[in-house]
Structure 1
Amino acid sequence: MSLNSPARQPLAPTSINSILNPVIEPSVQSKPDAPTKRKADELNEIDSEDDRLHYITDNCDQVRRKIRTLLNSGEMKVTEFQRAIGVNSNAYGRFMGYTGRDKGSGSNTYVEAFKFFKKRELQGIKVPKKKAKTTEESAKYDVSAITLDGEAETNVLVFDSCDEIRKKIRAHLAQPGVAQAAFLREIAKTYRDGRKIQSKVLNDFLGKRGASAGNTSAVFYSSYVFFEKLRIKEGKPRSKHRETMEKLYAGKGFDTKNRSDRGVYCFAGETPVEDKYGKIHFY
């Protein structure tokens, strides 16, 4: 060994245990990936035959509230929603015009709308928040600036049949942003005595059928006044039905004082039949 070479360092003592049981350094493990949100195309994975879509747990009023909340949020328009659940505007309008837990339970709109919302629920899609009403929206149905002849005496001449007013009410309640309670408050303003019109009165009127069925209802008269003011405000022309009613009931209007179901006198063998304008014909 050269005198100039460095001296070797002594080896550290090694125990027999370190040889037989070597220490293994833990490996650095990567953290599991955080769960990612499901893609939009994965939201359709629920089969249309899924039993959960066919066991209806919401009543008709609850489904109507969900529809209105969806439309008021601005997420979908009425026509888009109708296409999404596969119903036409007439079926949709009839269902949305009803009020009551079981009113409309036989409607296809009720069944398909429930499936639509149940599927969204199972997919984890939250119910959209109600969009705040703008001043423009709240003023859309304000008709307080218009006064009709005879309104102060609660004696506006009516030129619509009861069935026609029922159609208008159902169509109106089917509009996004229109609540039944707000509609009742608005038509109650027709009366100057501060009265309130309850939902039961509306339901009773909507549940009738016939041109003169419900002619003495407060809903019939006040709704006519409201829709007539709204027609004037929007600058719309009179309908053909309205023009015919004006000819048939010129100068006196449709009877809103005497109940139509009080009966009529006829000869033996005659059958009284009411037409769509409320006129009685004998056959």
Structure 2
Amino acid sequence: MLPRKRKSEVDAEIATTGSDKENQTAAAASAPAPVQVNSSTKKTCDEFRKEIREFIASGEMDAAEFQRAIDVSPRSYSEFLIRRERRKGPVPAEASAPVSAPASASATASASASAPASAPAPAKKAKKNPAPAPGFDVSAIHLDGDEDMKVPIFDTCDVVRKKMKAHLRKPGFTQAGFLRDIAKAAFPQSVKRLNSKSMADFLAYKGPTTGSSGVIFYAAYVFFEKLRVRDGKPKNDFRLEMEKIWPRGFERDNPANGRLWCGPHERPWIDKYGRVQFR
């Protein structure tokens, strides 16, 4: 006959065996390991800029979501991306927040991947105005004059038309989508819809100043300028010459579009920069 165990011994045995013990082991095994983030880096600022652009272009996050993830303002984000690095070597320890952003974003992505799968989130309703494709998202770029929609222009109408036609020839792009993209870029403080007929009329015009007073000219210029700034592309020779000729920006209400007073033997003509000349 086996000796009877005391109640305290039975309780101790239950505490270390049976289903409770299995549950404890399973819970310990399923707990995600803490993410270790190494704050030290030897990358340069330009390398971080390239990494940020590639990360946004991949479509994993858009620029606005990335800014929220690293907790920086759109202006700080924009200024960091367009700033040229003036020194060589690794990033200093006192570097600004956007410099260390890719490491933080990578750590966030790793933590999400290692966490156990949860129930799928309910599908969100589609937006009426979908955001532009990641390759053309310029929502993080700020230009002088954005606040009151008076960004100075340093291109002629013919140059902007040439850029528009080249952009619309790319596969997968429509005129309706392009109108949404340029409206969002040029009028960030409001919800403005641009007319397809206005764009068709502008594309049909010819001449450096023809169509300069229209909204399509302004919106398209701002969109392409923000793309240039976002991608860090240099200004071409024509752009630099326009800045010398029109230091305050190209005149949208250009006198060449109206009536001109001429001498008895003078004939007006407009040069490629939009200036009125007489011969």
Label 1:265 to 1:248 Cα distance change in 2 as closer, same or farther (>3 A). same
Indicate conservation of the 8 Å contact 1:273/1:280, yes or no.
Answer: yes
Match of 1:235 among 232, 241, 245: 232
Distance in structure 2 (CA, Å) of the matches to 1:181 and 1:215: 21
Match of 1:148 among 140, 143, 146: 143
The aligned runs of 1:133-144 (5 Å cut-off) are 138-144=133-139
* Corresponding position of 1:269: 265
Cα offset, 1:143, TM superposition: 0.4
Cα offset, 1:222, TM superposition: 0.6
Distance in structure 2 (CA, Å) of the matches to 1:166 and 1:260: 18
Cα offset, 1:240, TM superposition: 1.3
* Corresponding position of 1:282: 278
- Which of structures 1 and 2 has the bigger CA Rg? 1
Confirm whether residue 195 of structure 1 aligns to residue 174 of structure 2. Answer: no
Runs of 4+ in structure 1 deviating by more than 6 angstroms, as ranges, are: none
Indicate conservation of the 8 Å contact 1:163/1:210, yes or no.
Answer: yes
Indicate conservation of the 8 Å contact 1:273/1:281, yes or no.
Answer: yes
* Corresponding position of 1:21: none
Indicate conservation of the 8 Å contact 1:215/1:260, yes or no.
Answer: no
* Corresponding position of 1:158: 153
Distance in structure 1 (CA, Å) of the matches to 2:161 and 2:179: 14
Confirm whether residue 178 of structure 1 aligns to residue 198 of structure 2. Answer: no
Distance in structure 1 (CA, Å) of the matches to 2:133 and 2:264: 56
The aligned runs of 1:188-227 (5 Å cut-off) are 188-189=183-184, 190-191=186-187, 192-227=189-224
SS in structure 2 opposite 1:281? strand
Distance in structure 1 (CA, Å) of the matches to 2:253 and 2:147: 17
Distance in structure 2 (CA, Å) of the matches to 1:260 and 1:199: 26
How many residues of Structure 1 are paired with residues of Structure 2 in the alignment? 148
Identity of aligned residues (%): 44
Residue deviations 1:171-216, cap 9 Å, x none?
0001122221111011112123422111100011011100000000
Cα offset, 1:168, TM superposition: 0.3
How does the TM-score come out when normalised to structure 2?
0.51
* Corresponding position of 1:25: none
Structure 2 spans left out of the alignment, 5+ residues: 1-131
Distance in structure 2 (CA, Å) of the matches to 1:243 and 1:259: 22
SS in structure 2 opposite 1:140? helix
Label 1:258 to 1:195 Cα distance change in 2 as closer, same or farther (>3 A). farther
Structure 1 spans left out of the alignment, 5+ residues: 1-136
